[in-house]
Structure 1
Amino acid sequence: MPIQILSPQLTNQIAAGEVVERPASVVKELVENSLDAGADEIHIEIENGGAGLIRIRDNGFGIAKAELGLALSRHATSKISTLEDLEAILSLGFRGEALASISSVSRLTLTSRPPQQAEAWQVFAQGREMETTIQPAAHPVGTTVNVANLFFNTPARRKFLRTEKTEFNHIDEVIRRIALVKPQTAFILSHNGKVVRHYRKAVDPQQKIKRLAAICGQDFVNHALQIDWRHNDLHLYGWVADSGLLRPQNDLNYSYVNGRMMRDKTINHAVRLAYGEHIPSESYPAFVLFIDLDPSQVDVNVHPAKHEVRFHQNRLVHDFIHQGISHALESATELDFGEHTSNPTANTTRAAAGENIFAAETQNNRNANIEKPQIEKQKSAVAEPTAIYTPREQQKAATPPFERYKTPYTKAHGTAYQALLHNEKPTSETRYHPVVDKPETPHLRLLTLLTTEQLILLQQQQQLYLVSAKALQRTKLRLTLTQNEIQTQPLLIPLVIHLSPEQTRHWQQQKPHFARCGFEITQYGNAEKSRLTLSAVPTLLRRQNLQTCLVSLLNQPLDRFEDFLKTLVDSLDLTPMQSLADAANEFATVEQLATNQTEQIKHLLRPLDLQPYLTEENPSE
């Protein structure tokens, strides 16, 4: 068969296979169109589970007569017009496929009247030919869409429909999900002429709770913890049920992104991870969560039915949701057991269990480090550490012991050391010849960095020294962590660590040591069951695996600060040095921090004995 362009009728039916899975899909698309049209009252009439008739009537702003025929064309929409619009979508619909796809597998009648028209007009399309007929009609301001005989021309699709009751239950669930996120809109759902659901408009908080109870049940409301969690453009709010309400299936999992209902893997994983040990693996939590963020930071055009999205900062959103729910659950546990802690967000009401921890930080002077970070520059779920290095010229006025980039470096320096390293007999090429074109100086000079071995070669007059790069880095860390003032970095997402009884005892021993090193940690609970919340760390440790470091410390009885500091520094991951400039910066920092520079540097130096290599004899003779 030759390559050919498919007819519009066939492409619409192919698209219908993605958009129109069952009657509930039709209801979802049409109700979302009504909401985009500004309707605050929507009637949904269903017959025979949706296979016989679906009628959606709203009081929105309607469609003008001149646009009725175009409304049933594929890729015709009023929601977007440019690529920039696609990258910042706030409307529920935007592709312009729904009406065309639905009309290709049904007999569709659309009647509409905008406020500026004196009369209403009606367009009719049927099946594959999709020829439209426009005629006048009687209709109030708004739109009514009739979808009759769904899948009448695709019998293979029609036979896959379930029973009338099952299909209506799916429609009922769609309306429940939409009614949760649109409390200001009234929904009336009827089946075979009988009103089944009537969700009245909910404006004030009390009415919204009543609607929540009508949709999710009073039991959910009794166990619900309200969340209001905000940071910059991210806003998480809604309700999560405590561990007293567990479900055998995930039938009470409702999540929304910018008002769009979702079944997103990132959101579900963050929620499940937050509950963690609160519920067994075979049970499911109950929640109604709304996530609002900058529309340019989320791609909604990644799923045919728009059930999933792609977050540009996926890890940031995941950790933000996880921390918000974790905090709500843990705060509620403390309130239930009557624990009295210093947690500023642990109020006396369960409704406030999810109060935003970031709001409390605005009263803390360390908030200046994370105030107004640009979300598009966030690369992880934590704030980037700030630079602490000051140019050496501003650090000390005295002559430094390390003169950087001033020593001529010859190939003999490197080859002589390589011969020593591999126990090779020196040759004429590996003989070391002191630099004589500059006056001798008592200062140490950096010659080179051996990146593979992570060793630094230095010279002082006629003596060569080796310094382990790791030993130099650990010295800098140790000196930094013993300063009187340690620069700290707040965590965007505080780290929570649950302790065993033994770790709790060790924490009591090490608590002053952590504080001395610049950690900001709060303990909750008692000796048998407690946890630590790490909210700020020394800036130079921000990129470390903090949980591993802390657990390693808390697994050991470390009474003395010296032992604590050594264990901490030894547990850190050190970034290999890549250039001589890295080594020079480390030495400059040690120089700045050390009260006794000579002693701090001296214990790092390992002298090289080059006398056997400096013989005048020529082995080749």
Structure 2
Amino acid sequence: MSIRQLPVELANQIAAGEVVERPASVVKELIENSLDAGATEIVIDIEAGGRKRIRVRDNGSGIAKDELALALARHATSKISTLDDLEAIYSLGFRGEALASMSSVSRLVLTSKPAAQQQAWQAWTNGRDMQAQIEPAAHPDGTTIDISDLFFNTPARRKFLRTDKTEFGHIDEMVKRIALSRFDVSFQLRHNQQLVRQLPIANTPKQRQQRLAKLCGSLFAEQAQRISVESQGYHLEGWFAPSAGCRHQPDVQYFFVNGRMMRDKLLAHALRQAYEPWLIDEKVPTYVLFLRLPAEQVDVNVHPAKHEVRFHQARQVHDWLLQQVRHGLQAVEQDPSAALVTEAGHHYHSHDNDALPATADIPKPRSPLLPNAAPSRPASQGDWRQLVPQQERQQADHRWQVLRVIQQRFALLIDQQEQLAYLDLWPLYRDSQAHKLRRSVDHGLAGQPLLVPVKLNVELAREFTAIDRLAMERLGIHARQEGRSVVISHVPQMLRRSDVPAMIADLVKQWQRLSNDPEQLCQWLLQRQPPLTMSTTEAEQLVIEWQQQGAPQQWLQPLATPEVTDAAH
């Protein structure tokens, strides 16, 4: 077959395959266009999960009559004009492909009116004839894009759409992500003429907290710590959950770079590392964070749907993000009373790498053994224990409190009579984990992705594949075949820092014994855990659980307080 130039219609449909994956992709592109146009009000109407109709209306700057047809042409945009513009992109869109791609796989009507124009005008295409038709229309200032019969002329694409409920779920998630990034814009989302989301502009801290609760849940909004850090030309702000408020599913993990929602392995790895010392029980980092940096330091033109970015100084960004989030977590986890309570929740604020929140005044113990140690606050003197249910606090406050954690293993305790004792946390933790693991093993462990998948040698791969794949996945171990070898991509959260090949080899060796005895399997998982790093918050929670169980004494060692006499006598 000879080489030939593709027809415009075919070229647009090929481009649409990259830009328009499903109805949610259309909604994303249209909302981003509205935001680039300076809109402060955006209304989204969906019918039949988006396959029948998608309409997005805004009050943005609008499109002039003589530019309407051009707006539907490929590579036509108002956002960049030179190569220099491509080096520093500030808008959400810039390629000029979205509207042309949509118009090639749907029936599209574009109606717009700039404030300086007396009459609104309308352009429409039907997916086949790419020449837009222009006619006058009635419309307020702003733009409405109405898309119907998505993929009507590409049956193969339409066949792969899921149910209306599933497709609308993706749309709702997309609107939620964008609404989290733009508190200065109101959003309204309707499905089949039923109001689903009504999000007014949120300019005050209280209003932002209300939107956060609507989109991420009231529990996250109540527990989340506010962070605002700026140094080295980077600015990080947003909310992160303390370890006790983290979830078991990654459903609240939102990260934005220069206002753009990202799924970036580098950023995700930095956040996992920041949380690693404190996360237990299969939990994952939970956050809504916004990173701003000079536009010339980040390349957003590396993914068809702009889901990924490339940083010019990737290692520096990774390490800076890791350091700032870990500082914020340390301020909360190691000294919960240091968090500053505001009407929008807790707040951690810094303008340089070394600044940490000042610790609030804490009652000092009068024990002569540790005159400078600071015990945790009683519940009546602060609200650092808000993450522990009130009933548990009432039951546990009667005696021991944690002064400090020593060597990340021993908790130094003090009671109301100022008696001191050491509590060995490791066996206490493993006993607590064993109870939770028994339940988790019964229902299946969640697998967490490895930053770098691990390839097994051929011999070990052969032994591993002899084990039932579903049994491995119930343990949270996911693998794929690559030639004669096997690549491990997921392992349980508790084993993410372990030596994966050695862990798999040991599992294969003992599988016959472990597979028939859930109790032995739980013990094996606990033994394969890397050395623990116990934070003060985790210690406090363990001590609460320990006291609820009657404070068994086998792990408690009383510490005599020496008698101090006055040297002058």
| Larger Rg over CA atoms | 1
Structure 2 equivalent of residue 11 of structure 1 = 11
Q: Quick check: 2:410–2:424 contact (8 Å CA) kept in 1?
A: no
Q: Secondary structure at the match of 1:180?
A: helix
Q: Secondary structure at the match of 1:278?
A: coil
Q: Quick check: 2:224–2:346 contact (8 Å CA) kept in 1?
A: no
Where in structure 2 are the equivalents of 1:264-279 lying within 5 Å?
264-279=264-279
| CA displacement 1:335-392 (0-9 Å, x = unmatched) | 33x5xxxxxxx45548555322617669xxxxxxxxxxxxxxxxxxxxxxxxxxxxxx
Structure 1 equivalent of residue 143 of structure 2 = 143
Instruction: Tell me how far 1:122 sits from its aligned partner.
Output: 0.3
Q: Secondary structure at the match of 2:291?
A: strand
Q: Quick check: 2:252–2:287 contact (8 Å CA) kept in 1?
A: yes
Structure 2 equivalent of residue 355 of structure 1 = 349
Structure 1 equivalent of residue 215 of structure 2 = 215
Q: Quick check: 1:331–1:353 contact (8 Å CA) kept in 2?
A: no
Distance 1:126 1:253 in 2: 39
Structure 1 equivalent of residue 165 of structure 2 = 165
Change (3 A) 1:501 1:288: closer
Q: Secondary structure at the match of 2:334?
A: helix
Instruction: Tell me how far 1:268 sits from its aligned partner.
Output: 0.8
Instruction: Tell me how far 1:334 sits from its aligned partner.
Output: 2.5
Q: Secondary structure at the match of 2:214?
A: helix
Structure 1 equivalent of residue 324 of structure 2 = 324
Distance 1:8 1:92 in 2: 25
| CA displacement 1:95-152 (0-9 Å, x = unmatched) | 0000000000000000000011100000001113312100000101100000000000
Q: Secondary structure at the match of 1:244?
A: helix
The one-letter code matched in structure 1 to 2:27 is V
Structure 1 equivalent of residue 199 of structure 2 = 199
Instruction: Say which of 384, 407, 428 aligns to 1:500.
Output: 407
Structure 2 equivalent of residue 226 of structure 1 = 226
Q: Quick check: 1:88–1:295 contact (8 Å CA) kept in 2?
A: yes
Q: Quick check: 2:324–2:353 contact (8 Å CA) kept in 1?
A: no
| CA displacement 1:272-304 (0-9 Å, x = unmatched) | 111103223733221000000000000000011
Distance 1:227 1:140 in 2: 40
Change (3 A) 1:21 1:502: closer
Distance 2:339 2:214 in 1: 27
| CA displacement 1:43-66 (0-9 Å, x = unmatched) | 000000000000000000100000
Distance 1:49 1:322 in 2: 39
Distance 1:102 1:222 in 2: 41
Structure 2 equivalent of residue 263 of structure 1 = 263
Structure 2 equivalent of residue 114 of structure 1 = 114
Q: Which has the higher contact order (CA 8 A, sep 6+)?
A: 2
Change (3 A) 1:272 1:9: same
Where in structure 2 are the equivalents of 1:85-484 lying within 5 Å?
85-280=85-280, 282-336=282-336, 346-349=338-341, 354-356=348-350, 358=352
The one-letter code matched in structure 1 to 2:333 is T
Structure 1 equivalent of residue 2 of structure 2 = 2
Q: Quick check: 1:298–1:310 contact (8 Å CA) kept in 2?
A: yes
TM norm structure 2: 0.62
Structure 2 equivalent of residue 66 of structure 1 = 66
Q: Does 1:34 align with 2:28?
A: no
The one-letter code matched in structure 1 to 2:127 is G
Structure 1 equivalent of residue 395 of structure 2 = none
CA RMSD of aligned residues (A): 2.4
| CA displacement 1:202-224 (0-9 Å, x = unmatched) | 11111111111111111001210
| CA displacement 1:216-256 (0-9 Å, x = unmatched) | 11100121011111113200110001111232321111010
Structure 2 equivalent of residue 391 of structure 1 = none
TM norm structure 1: 0.57
| CA displacement 1:163-193 (0-9 Å, x = unmatched) | 0011011110111111111101000000001
Q: Quick check: 2:409–2:424 contact (8 Å CA) kept in 1?
A: no
Q: Secondary structure at the match of 1:117?
A: coil
Q: Secondary structure at the match of 1:152?
A: coil
The one-letter code matched in structure 2 to 1:162 is R
Distance 1:186 1:503 in 2: 51
Distance 2:318 2:293 in 1: 13
Change (3 A) 1:118 1:2: same
Distance 1:224 1:29 in 2: 30
Distance 1:79 1:253 in 2: 29
Q: Secondary structure at the match of 2:63?
A: coil
Q: Secondary structure at the match of 1:358?
A: coil
| CA displacement 1:406-448 (0-9 Å, x = unmatched) | xxxxxxxxxxxxxxxxxxxxxxxxxxxxxxxxxxxxxxxxxxx
Q: Secondary structure at the match of 2:195?
A: strand
Distance 1:96 1:357 in 2: 38
Q: Quick check: 2:339–2:348 contact (8 Å CA) kept in 1?
A: no
Distance 1:218 1:205 in 2: 15
Distance 2:65 2:168 in 1: 33
Distance 2:409 2:239 in 1: 35
Instruction: Tell me how far 1:23 sits from its aligned partner.
Output: 0.2
The one-letter code matched in structure 1 to 2:221 is V
Distance 1:149 1:102 in 2: 11
Distance 2:190 2:296 in 1: 38
Distance 2:148 2:70 in 1: 20
Change (3 A) 1:221 1:116: same
Distance 1:281 1:299 in 2: 37
Q: Quick check: 1:325–1:354 contact (8 Å CA) kept in 2?
A: no
Q: How many residues align?
A: 367
Where in structure 2 are the equivalents of 1:554-593 lying within 5 Å?
none
Distance 1:86 1:150 in 2: 31
The one-letter code matched in structure 1 to 2:188 is I
The one-letter code matched in structure 1 to 2:138 is A
Q: Quick check: 1:335–1:348 contact (8 Å CA) kept in 2?
A: no
Change (3 A) 1:253 1:98: same
Instruction: Tell me how far 1:306 sits from its aligned partner.
Output: 0.4
Instruction: Tell me how far 1:503 sits from its aligned partner.
Output: 12
Change (3 A) 1:51 1:320: same
Distance 2:237 2:268 in 1: 15
Q: Quick check: 1:178–1:261 contact (8 Å CA) kept in 2?
A: yes
Unaligned segments of structure 1, at least 5 residues: 339-345, 363-497, 505-525, 530-621
